[in-house]
Amino acid sequence: MAGQGPVRYHAPMIRTAILGLGSYVPDRVVTNDELRFLDDKHERQAEPTIATDDAWIQQRTGIRERRYVQPGVATSDLAAEAAKRALADAGVAATDIDCIIVGTLSPDIHFPGVGVFLQRKLGIADKTSCPCYDIRQQCSAFLYGLQMADAFVKSGTYKRVLLVGAEIHSHSMDFSTRGRDVTALFGDGAGAMVLGPAPTDDAKQGVIYTKVHADGTGAENLYIKIFDITKAPYMAYDTRDREVNKDIYPQMDGKRVYVRAVREMNLATQRALAETGFTWDDIDWFVPHQANLRINEQVAALAKIPTEKCLHTIQFFGNTTAATVPLTIDHWRQAGKVKKGDRVLSTVFGSGFTWGAAIFTV
């Protein structure tokens, strides 16, 4: 029409969508009753090696069993299995991935990181030269990685991001009464997501909200000092000497971790709802980090989360740190509970201290 300026096309805002989801756990199931008889090679002994039992562990943690890898299996092997399932679910070829982010506290070796080993095991190391990030936020790593992936996709930096959380804890536990508070908690496993752009103006789709935090004053309340760079050499002790080898195992101030986890996960959950304007009527599932069932039950009570919306897998898999969020979602998706398009609120807490929350649709 005469006199009118050119019609301007406004492209829809790019949002980040979860294109595929996958998980993997080892075949070996270790029950609480079996755990108390295992040595550090995971071989059953005639007499208990740990002064504990099924009732003691379930009462304190809610855990009934966990999964352990076989000797010779690496964290990148678990990551690769979960990644392949997520890629298949997304209908995306490995060669389409232009960024890999791996969250883990149990890398294959001290360096390089798991990301490059995963890239190689997916068969794309010499084909794409995609960047590989390893992030070390322990139990909070998956949500930290989700925030990174979301920023990369929204900015147009990358179009297909593979985000993986993978852990092998069983090789670093103290199979004695001294280490039972930590050893009872952890298992091996991996979970993965493929993320990419979804052109839409709907702010209630895809990755809707992420916010993460840290407080370094709690760093020594949950840690492992095996690689202590202040020492020369940094492993100057006999690893078999029970009097001096404590530093090769995880250490935890359980009471302080419990209190801070409940506090921060509750506050992060309520902040996520307040800042998005959502209520529990808008959220299909609450997926907390699977560190301790008692922590999650306390958070649910404080945040007034409907019990039927809380998803847990700690009873089956224990704490798989960086893997717990995608592993839990995928477990219940395979069981037919979680459906495509469901909206999830997830909150996490880990050593560092680190914590955060996210809202996204699967």
Please write the tens of the pLDDT for every residue from 162-220.
999 999 999 999 999 999 999 999 999 999 999 999 877 788 899 999 999 999 999 99
Same domain, 23 and 163: yes
Out of 99, 130, 132, 139, pick the active-site residue.
Answer: 139
Q: Residues 42, 289, 312, 331: which is the catalytic one?
A: 289
User: β-strand 132-135 against 99-103: which pairing, if any?
Assistant: parallel
Tell me if 3 is assigned to some domain: no
Q: Are residues 154 and 239 in the same domain?
A: no
Q: Note down the domain range covering 169.
A: 14-199
Examine the domain organization and report whether 222 and 339 are in the same domain: yes
Give the model confidence (pLDDT) of 68-99 as tens digits: 999 999 999 999 999 999 999 999 999 999 99
- Where is average pLDDT lowest: 154-158, 200-204, 222-226? 200-204
Residue closest to 189 by CA, chosen among 162, 168, 163, 172? 168
Backbone angles phi, psi at 291, to 5 degrees: -95, -40
Domain with residue 186: its CATH number is 3.40.47.10
Does residue 139 have an active-site annotation?
yes
Same domain, 94 and 175: yes
pLDDT tops 60 at residue 316: yes
Q: Is residue 295 part of a domain?
A: yes
The answer on 357 and 306 residing in a single domain is yes
Task: Band the pLDDT of 315: cuts 50, 70, 90.
Answer: very high
Structure confidence at residue 238 (pLDDT): 76
Closest CA to 71 of 48, 46, 43, 44: 43
- Provide the Cα torsion 156, 138, 338, 294; round to 10°: -150
**Exposure on the CB side of residue 233, measured as CA atoms within 13 A:** 4
Residue 55 sits in the same domain as residue 183: yes
Full-model pTM: 0.94
Are 186 and 282 contained in the same domain?
A: no
177 and 212 fall within a common domain: no
Task: Assess whether 213 carries a catalytic annotation.
Answer: no
Query: Would you state the pLDDT for residue 9?
Result: 44
The conformation of residue 128, written as its DSSP 8-state character, comes to T
Task: Give the mean pLDDT of the chain.
Answer: 94
Instruction: Judge if 315 and 189 occupy the same domain.
Output: no
Of 130, 312, 319, 331, which is the active-site residue? 319
Q: How many domains does the chain have?
A: 2
Instruction: Report yes or no on 9 lying in a domain.
Output: no
Q: Which of these three, 181, 199, 217, is where a domain ends?
A: 199
**Is there a catalytic annotation at residue 110?**
no
**Domain boundary at 165, 199, 233, which?**
199
Same domain, 294 and 311: yes
Residues 112 and 247 grouped into a single domain: no
Both 235 and 175 in one domain: the answer is: no
